[in-house]
Copies of this chain bind each other. A is one copy, B any other.
Amino acid sequence: MMRVSANAEKKFLQQVFKKNGFTEENGALLADTLVDADLRGISSHGIQRLAWYERMIADGTIKPTNQVKVLKESLTSLLIDANGNMGQLASAFAMKNLIKKAKANQVAMAVIRNSNHFGTAGYYSRLAAKAGLIGISTTNTRPLVVPTNAIEAFLGSNAFAFTFPAEPHPFVFDGATSSVSSGKIAVLAKNQRPIPGEWAVDRNRQVIHDSAQAFKILSEAAFTEHQSGGGVLTLGGNQETNSNYKGFGNSLVIELLTGILAQGSISADTSKGKHDFSQFFMVIDPAFFGDVEVLKAKATRMFNRIRKLAHLPGTKIMIPGDREYRNYDQNLKQGVVIDPRTQEEMAEIAKKFQLELPEVL
């Protein structure tokens, strides 16, 4: 485990992206999305993804010099072709446009096709929050999740982020719609630790606690055309009596807004052929409904009341966003954490491109 400063990480990433053929501007954006995830403690979506992105550039899945194209545009809406480049580029482009459109017409939406992995969903909806607006950001993913009663993966872990202006930081709800993201299981497998809850099942829909076994099932489901069965559970867990069909429904909502509206691959089909992802974004201007400072104060007051509710001894009630903003402040001072395996991968990439590694703090 090492720490490097966010600035040093960013500089290194920008150089790597430049060597891969991205423009200066695009490389800076990509670096910012990864550093931002590391600062927020979402290391599954930080620099540890770099080697994976490098492999997808090498095999042609990601096309670093392709331009984002607007296919259709109205006062409120955008249909965008990411053109096989990184999902981050089309997504930030879309969100910046939606912010302008929402300010003029109260609400605006975008669908992106032919896209790739876009990092954390929260990055884009936070752009709206910075502008005093409500942001929604979603993506489909590789097939990982078993519908209610099913014993094979079909749905994506389908990220959903929603932000709303508040103090001292915006409300930021950001994560997979499934019980957990596959990244959480990957981290446990890497550290040889058991799965603590109802996260994944085998081909007989028995809950798996062995993270290595679960990781193997997910790798096959997500990255090969063959499945032996099993996968991540929908939110609600393994039992229909615990309403896991509601988690299933939430996942389907994202499938419809992304792969179906974009006429791209649904999550189930991203493991073969084009490997394309789709994204859906929305921005809402709360100022139509009332003074934004008043609405913000009302939201803040509600969150503060919730933080202070009676709760179990030894626990804490946290509002979505609390943890990541605390991490952000800490890691900006202390540097971001990089795990040993990622250190090795960074060293290989530095060697390939003859770059200096970020200084270890």
Give the interface of A toward B (CB within 8 A).
Answer: 72, 74-77, 79, 105-109, 111, 134, 147-152, 154, 162, 164, 171, 173, 175, 177, 179-180, 196-199, 204-205, 229, 235-237, 239-243, 245-250, 252-253, 255-256, 260-263, 266, 268, 282, 284, 286, 288-290, 294-295, 298-299, 302, 305-306, 309-312, 315-320
Contact = CB atoms under 8 A, between A and B. Distances in A.
Contacts of A247: 235
A240 to B, nearest CB: 8
A250 B150 CA distance: 24
Nearest to A289: B261
Q: So how many copies of this chain end up in the complex?
A: 2
B299 A198 contact: no
Nearest to A74: B106
Most B CB contacts (10 A, CB to CB) among A147, A252, A318 go to A252
Contact of A243 (B180, B298, B299, B315): B180
A290 B261 contact: yes
A284 B79 CA distance: 14
A125 to B, nearest CB: 11
Given A179-B242, A243-B179, A107 B309 contact: no
A247 B302 CA distance: 17
Contacts of A295: 260-261, 263
Contact of A111 (B235, B256, B289, B302): B289
Nearest to A106: B77
Nearest to A294: B263
Contact of A154 (B154, B282, B305): B305
Nearest to A77: B106
A134 to B, nearest CB: 8
